[in-house]
Chains A and B, each alone.
Chain A
Amino acid sequence: MTEPPFAPTARFAAPGQQAATPWQSATVVSVLAETRTARTIRLAPEAPVPHLPGQHYVVRLTAEDGYTASRSYSVASAPDASGEIELTVELLPDGEVSPFLHEVLEPGDVLEVRGPLGRWFTWDGSSPALLVGGGSGVVPLMAMLRTARATGTTDLVRLVVSVRTPDDLYYASEMTGPEVTVVHTRTTTPGDRRPAGRLSTADLGPVAPGTTVYLCGSGGFVEHSSALLLDLGVDAADVRVERFGPS
């Protein structure tokens, strides 16, 4: 038979058993507008569980008649002693859950949450990582960057975030320093040396061997960036992908 071109690799090896993650209550501590269409919700879960940067929570809303709707949101904050978490929610105009979280939810409200979940799109905090995010895809990467800053390991990470315009950038006040590259695809800020345009290999490269790439964004962004990474010689097995939003 023909050898398959994509050989199974050690990255799919078993990390072992995991206990069940139950639903629990979490109280809304604060809410913060990140952009016109993104809101960060700080939650205090009843029984805090430390998360790994990159993990997500499921939020479940229940109507008075028992109807429920659940969605997954990435944690934007680094794990810390507060036991609280921050979820950043993009407003989807046709959505059912995100308009509630944007327009109705206020501090003091109680949500049902389940997490932290997902152990694949997580950074271990000790190995080199290239973080590539498009739009709202920056959220789980921000947890990684914040973790690196909190632990003094920014030399291990580099964040490349692509947004349409400066107004679309989440966590703008933290997008500074040599470990962060902001790419504007439509409109730049005055004095920007890079003209507006799609993410390119020059924005991403070079990528040192042994770097794990965390790629998160819309389907279109992920496909475009994947091609660039492969062109830069990155091994597909070193890329972890999370796709967000409409595709």
Chain B
Amino acid sequence: MGGFTRGFTGRRRDDHGGRLPPGQYDTGASWPVLSAEITPRLSTDDWTFTVDGLVDRVTTWSWDELQALPHSTYAGDIHCVTTWSKFDMTFTGVSVDVLLAAAGPSAAATHVLARSHTGYTTNLPLADVVDGKAWVVWDADGEALAPEHGGPARLLVPHLYFWKSAKWVSGIELLDHDVRGFWEQNGYHDRGDPWTEQRYHGD
């Protein structure tokens, strides 16, 4: 390949002090909505979250039970594979560490498959959802998470491309191997690190 595109200079060069991953642009105040399916009509009464698979105790929380767990907040940036990044967001929810501690992961577990109330799935290495790197969140920038953004609650794994942060999340399954989720079966990367541009298979 090589070379440059005749006549293209580009205009947004501010990398926000190194916070903008390669190939991304700052979407500013807007928060684009992307999803492959109809926004579900899902109330908190119907919402549950389950940790199952290779765990000592399959555990399910209702909405109220989840809210009763210790809350924590992520403050930082998010990056979508469609090339927008959004800076300085805050999300509040429960750390996945808290949920895993209740279920007791088996030593054999290496990966997780997150799933949604719609049937959407996405796969992640277990290491990417532990040690304060992942949450189940219901609040974005101080307001209830809107349905089109995954409300009442979504997974949040902000160090990976945002399709890993499953909207309308219903649970995670612990596995001893990697099982591809929805976008991953459709050509997207199994891990999705924005800093190394793991967008599609083979990146």
Contacts and interface: CB of A to CB of B under 8 A. Distances in A.
Interface of A: 1-2, 4-9, 11-12, 14-16, 18-25, 61-64, 66-72, 96, 100, 104-105, 109-112, 114, 117-121, 215, 219, 223, 226, 229-230, 236-237, 239-243, 246-247
B196 interface: no
A80 to B, nearest CB: 23
A1 B42 CA distance: 16
Given A18-B187, A223-B148, A117 B200 contact: yes
Nearest to A103: B7
A4 B180 contact: no
Contact of A109 (B1, B6, B10, B200): B6
Contacts of B72: none
B62 interface: yes
Chain B interface size range:
35 or more
A9 to B, nearest CB: 5
A164 B70 CA distance: 49
Interface of B: 1, 3-13, 22-23, 25, 30-42, 45-46, 48, 50, 60, 62, 82-83, 115-121, 148, 168, 170, 180, 182-183, 185-187, 200-203
Contact of A242 (B22, B36, B39, B185): B36
Contacts, number: 155
A96 B11 contact: yes
24 contacts: A4-B46, A8-B121, A9-B119, A12-B120, A12-B182, A14-B185, A20-B200, A68-B23, A69-B8, A96-B12, A109-B6, A110-B5, A114-B200, A118-B186, A120-B183, A120-B186, A215-B38, A219-B32, A226-B39, A237-B119, A239-B37, A241-B37, A243-B32, A246-B32
Given A1-B50, A63-B5, A68-B23, A19 B119 contact: no
